[in-house]
Structure 1
């Protein structure tokens, strides 16, 4: 009985994630101009977003006027920080991206300490798979870790051992080893989830949504109606987030 209830809860959680993905994919195309503008700046700084897409306060818990791919869902395993934080920093990341690894190792811990832990910013992750089949498998693996509440720990384990140049080699057996390092409690379940069709479909939908958006390089960020690309220095992120917080009032 207990296992059947747990399975039902997992299925409900997957359905909620699929609904969030559908909402984001439907709105994300409108935001294309932001990303193209950011790419034209070659990652030198934040670029203001045009109006829309926005959603009402009743849609998925996000606030009126907020971009539709901001989730603000309590218990979201791919997010960290207060669900009611003034600002949500949305990040697109690929687990084989060396610059994503740099951000995760050097910048994310500072942002969590200075902005997330103080209740100013919430961080929500969208996975992409831009570097081949292993990127796709790694995105599924990260979601499998998220199923057991170890999403950020899994990302940290992968990025900690990423090469300084080139793309990490992430075969199946290494993904399982990273899950163990990340403290995923049930490795047998994690291994089975690597073949879960629902998790793979959710990862594929996230990736295709980013492609439609025009996110052609990662890491990529959106906060407070402006975008930022690349593994920028911490000073750039502080300026970027401080401006978004000030705008949020």
Structure 2
């Protein structure tokens, strides 16, 4: 399957959910790539230029999720916990939220990631996030499909047509087939090695890997990052 870290939002009940999620991640996501050569940097300057994001441009904190569209834990993260992060940090103007690809499960992972990058390049940020959310919602629930080719080019094209016109979809498909989005994907994957990402979803806050276990840990790290940038 996959691997990952943790996520977000309030009350003791939600904190218990956080801990449950974290424990599940370690048990479920042990199949990521092992080590990719050089020792990872604990902190690195990330070039956010040309990356899809949610939030205000003036937000002082950058949160990055490394994800794989075939990762079931990523699906759970985006369905159950990302809305809490959005409400607490993105909508309040405290942080911008970026998505970067770590495509490692199978060829579907790479195909979906590069297609999504083509959506971003040709149709812009809003279209990307609509497609991003829809694609995760279409991930099969049954784990046996994880290693099968589900996100075929025709599947991705039909999915995009649910949020874009036929003309817009043709533009994206053409860019994808011509490998116009590969450089953007390569850039994301280069950060996987540089930052030592070994599973998904993995979160970074202003270039530092989040390694806490509760929403309080996450809030503290975001607030500390905001102070450093104030």
TM-score (norm 2): 0.69
> CA 1:161/1:197 → structure 2, altered by over 3 Å: closer, same or farther?
closer
Structure 1 partner of 2:201:
219
> CA 1:133/1:225 → structure 2, altered by over 3 Å: closer, same or farther?
closer
Residues 12-51 of structure 1 correspond to what in structure 2 (within 5 A)?
32-34=40-42, 49=43
Contact conserved, 1:96 with 1:135, CA < 8 A, in 2? yes
- Which structure 1 residue ranges, 5 or more long, are not aligned? 1-28, 35-48, 54-66
Give, in whole Å, the separation in 1 of the partners of 2:96 and 2:66.
14
**Residue 90 of structure 2, aligned match among 91, 96, 116:** 116
Structure 1 partner of 2:9:
none
Structure 1 partner of 2:156:
175
The CA deviation at 1:234 is: 5.5
CA-atom RMSD in angstroms? 2.8
User: More deviation in 108-117 or 160-169?
Assistant: 160-169
Size of the aligned set, in residue pairs, is 186
Instruction: Note if 1:106 corresponds to 2:80.
Output: yes
Instruction: Note if 1:148 corresponds to 2:107.
Output: no
Instruction: Note if 1:126 corresponds to 2:100.
Output: yes
Give, in whole Å, the separation in 2 of the partners of 1:79 and 1:144.
15
Give, in whole Å, the separation in 1 of the partners of 2:211 and 2:119.
26
> CA 1:208/1:233 → structure 2, altered by over 3 Å: closer, same or farther?
same
The CA deviation at 1:241 is: 2.7
Give, in whole Å, the separation in 1 of the partners of 2:153 and 2:211.
30
Instruction: Note if 1:79 corresponds to 2:53.
Output: yes
2:65 match: secondary structure: strand
TM-score (norm 1): 0.64
With a CA cutoff of 8 Å and minimum separation of 6, indicate the structure with the bigger relative contact order. 2
Residues 50-89 of structure 1 correspond to what in structure 2 (within 5 A)?
53=44, 67=45, 69-71=46-48, 73=49, 76=50, 78-89=52-63
